Amino acid sequence: MATSLDQPPQALVTAITSAARDAIVMMDAHGRIVFWNPAAESLLGYRAEEVLGRELHACITPHGVSDAMRASLERFFHSGIGERVGRTVEVQARHRDGTPMDMELSLSAFPSGEGWHAVGILRDLGGRKRTEARLMRLNDCLARLGPDYRDNIASITQVCGELLESDAAIYHRLEGERLCVLGGWRTPKDMPAEDDPEGHVCYDMICGVHGDLYAAPDLARTCYAHTDPYVRRYELRAYLGHVVRCGDAPVGSLCVVFRSEYTPTEEDRRVVGILAAALSAEEGRHKAVCQWRRAKEEAERASRAKSEFLSRMSHELRTPMNAVLGFSQLLEADPALGGEQRAHVHEILRGGRHLLALINEVLDLSRVESGRLELSMEPVPLGEVVDECITLLAPLAREAGVDLQVHPLDAVLVADRIRLKQVLINLISNAIKYNRSGGWVQVLQEFTGSDAVRVQVRDTGPGIPEGLRQELFKPFSRLHEQTHPGSEGTGIGLAICQRLVGLMQGDMGYEAMESGGSCFWFQLQRGRWSTPAPRSGDEGIIERSAPEPYPFTLLHVDDNPSNLRLVEQALSRRPAVRVISAPSAGLGLELAGVHRPDLILLDINMPGLNGYQVLEQLRGDPVTATIPVVALTANATERDAERGRRAGFDDYLSKPLDLELFLGVVDTCTAAAGGLRRGFTDQPAG
């Protein structure tokens, strides 16, 4: 309209910008303020009449006008050219009260008769930067949460109080009929850790009285001024709280309280909501952890109960078995028995020994499954362990008419030596028992990559039918009854072997051989050093059917692998002494009957059968009755030695082992091998 064009420029600008939300400021060609809209008054604190005509930069520049700035302004006034013209940049301005303020400035220029004028649009960045800082703090808090439930609650509660600049922050949790403080920041020292919930604003929050979020800018105008003891006691004036849930169930309330006036912004409400959600997630995680722990404890209790039951049953079964086997052996030795009666006694002995083997293996399986088996992992030369196994099993192979063949073995396995030997003995003895007369058993190694070794035990037996192979490693699966009806076996050995290999971080399996027979294999990690390769002329299969005998044989029975290794190493300086190690009482009794050693070292405290029970069985068997037995135990008191003397031990050595004394005892027994049992020493060792 023509009339509008006649209006002064300032009046026109005022009409356009009076309702703008951003501050709009105009500067003339002399740097003086010629326009200052209402938003500028609100943002910078100056009324228009206070600043119109004054130099703009002198009013709002935080550090005054420098010489360089004056030169830049003079250039702008004459040319309209400046670094910030036509751009949006971040600057700092000064509030009327002197407070520095972060601003976003959009600057434009237009010419007038006197020179160039500038129009600046200013937007407060303080709110945005505060929001960004809050988000950074929230992200940092959540990223730093660890596994500890209480520490996480404390961190979240503290951040809530700090971000909202409250007088205190509290996380109340309803536990039973008590309102408990689980997290507190700047809480009064006399605030109780738990309280009766009735009347508390936080309790009403948990009960859903106010929804998920509740703000009370003036607590004095609410019922809580009379019902909540904290409002009166600590002179609280404002409250902001949010419900905390575990799943769908409300369990607590996160709140901030103020002793001065406070009205929460929408951003404040969002911050409390985010932190309450973090607490809800923490509650859910904590509940899951507690449930997992309870389930784990219940499983461990069940496992312990099972193991204790099996151990007790094992002991209770062995007691009558001792009478059955003992008297059966006496009957078998009676020359007055007829042929049919002797056959009956033989069946009793065979069945009794089978039952005893079953008891021993059930106990061994229970130890493996209950996690009570400790392993000592180390580099173990495979060839040495296989040699020991072949030496032990050669009599069984000769009796069965089976040839034992061992290919060159130079691999080193990372394993527990005792348990590796147990696995190999089981596999090789099975291959002998379930073979055919005139057949063979082979032990081979295969390197599978750079870090693993596969050990194979092959035989010429009938193999396992394909439909039954899935049952191979299940306890009590006696699959060989299909091919060897009436054969003895517990069906536990392979299950134990697979679990032992698993505990040694390996794998175990079965493959049928194309030519018939079976191949059981296990794979373990390869060690870093190896034993010397076979000498020239030793290449190929090594026949092991008839190993060279040792002049003196010592059997060591101890369930602790480190003790077994100590004795083996101590006797390595006695080349005439062959050491047979048995990690369980049951295996020790079996080996004593097979090898008839010249001396037996016996631990006292072993699971299943203790040393005294083993000694009783040894003395009750005519085959082992005269073998000297020396106790090697940590029970080192004179009272223990006296008990050993009465029980019938030939000597009593205490741990820690006195090697000089120990070797002296062995040398004495070596010299007396084949003679009468040595009498108990007058002064017990230890």
Residues of the chain with CATH 3.40.50.2300: 549-686
Average pLDDT over residues 632-645: 72
**pLDDT above 90 for 643:** no
- Give the pLDDT band of residue 566 (cuts 50, 70, 90): confident
Q: Which tokens go with 549?
A: 């005998």
- Claim: this prediction has a pTM higher than 0.85: no
**pLDDT above 70 for 227:** yes
Cβ proximity of 416 and 424 under 8 Å: no
β strands within 2-50, DSSP E: 23-27, 33-36
pLDDT in tens, 156-184: 999 999 999 999 999 999 999 999 999 99
DSSP-based three-state secondary structure for 64:
coil
CATH architecture of 128-373: 2-Layer Sandwich (3.30)
- Give the pLDDT band of residue 481 (cuts 50, 70, 90): low
- Give the pLDDT band of residue 480 (cuts 50, 70, 90): low
Could you tell me which of 458, 463, 432, 434 has the C-alpha nearest to residue 446? 458
Contacts of 469 (CB under 8 A, 6+ apart): 510, 512
CATH number, domain 549-686, options 3.80.30.10, 3.40.640.10, 3.40.50.720, 3.40.50.2300: 3.40.50.2300
Instruction: Determine the CATH number of domain 374-548.
Output: 3.30.565.10
CATH architecture of 2-124: 2-Layer Sandwich (3.30)
Question: Is the bond into 656 cis (omega within 30 degrees of 0)?
Answer: yes
Residues of the chain with CATH 3.30.565.10: 374-548
- Give the pLDDT band of residue 534 (cuts 50, 70, 90): very low
Alpha-helical (H) ranges within 46-169 are 48-51, 56-60, 67-79, 126-143, 149-163
pLDDT in tens, 396-447: 899 899 999 998 888 999 999 888 998 999 899 989 988 999 999 999 999 9
pLDDT in tens, 319-362: 566 557 666 776 776 788 888 888 888 888 777 777 777 776 77
Distance CA 25, CA 14 (A): 11
pLDDT of residue 501: 94
Residues of the chain with CATH 3.30.450.20: 2-124
pLDDT of residue 540: 42
The pLDDT mean for the chain works out to 82
Q: Which tokens go with 322?
A: 């001792």
**pLDDT above 70 for 132:** yes
Contacts of 21 (CB under 8 A, 6+ apart): 39
Q: Which tokens go with 442?
A: 């082979």
Contacts of 625 (CB under 8 A, 6+ apart): 618, 619
pLDDT in tens, 23-57: 999 888 888 898 899 999 988 999 999 999 998 88
Residues of the chain with CATH 3.30.450.40: 128-373
